[in-house]
Amino acid sequence: MKNLKFYTCEYCYKEFEPKRRRVQRYCSNTCRSKAYHARKTNTLTTSKSEDIAITNNDNSSQKETMSLAGIGNATAGTLAADAIKSLLTKESNKPATKGDLTQLLEKLNGRYHLVKNMNPNIKGEYPYFDMVEGNVVYSPYNN
């Protein structure tokens, strides 16, 4: 991410050397079309970002949202969080502005993502992956 020659793929977060600068946001056609499909589905389930009380009762579309963001489990979530940091520091290495972060979180469909393969904690709260801090937080909301 320190090398200005490289872009970070917006879908798989791999670094790649763009063939056409400025316009190329994905490392491959595969990622580009996957991201396209992801975006299409995304608009259906997008709620206000930063809103931990995810107001989506439809389980199946929530699952889709999860895979869209590339977060099937906490490990993948960690990867995504690292990728965020590298995205935020790409190109000029300048620190991320609040606007950058908000934009990114919108892309990821919000800051908090329910972790499906973890059980609620002792208080019955549900685990969410915090995309900003890169850790798991608990919230009483589960929809």
54 binds Zn ion (CB under 5 A): no
- Contact track, Zn ion, 6-25, x by CB under 5 A: ---x-xx-------------
- Does 38 help bind Zn ion (rule: CB under 5 A)? no
Residue 80 lies near Zn ion (rule: CB under 5 A) = no
Interface with Zn ion by CB under 5 A: which range of 30-38, 47-55, 77-85, 96-104?
A: 30-38
* The two structure tokens encoding residue 21: 């600068």
Q: What is the C-alpha to C-alpha distance for residues 71 and 124, in angstroms, rounded to an integer? A: 22
Torsion of CA 123, 106, 84, 100, to 10 degrees: -130
Query: Quick one: which segment of 2-10, 58-66, 88-96, 108-116 binds Zn ion (CB under 5 A)?
Result: 2-10
Nearest-Å Rg of the Cα atoms of the chain is 16
Longest dimension (CA), the chain: 52
Copy the structure tokens of residue 1. Answer: 């991410």
Confirm or reject binding of residue 118 to Zn ion (CB under 5 A): no
Q: Total residues contacting Zn ion (rule CB under 5 A)?
A: 5
Residue 34 or 63 with smaller CB distance to Zn ion: 34
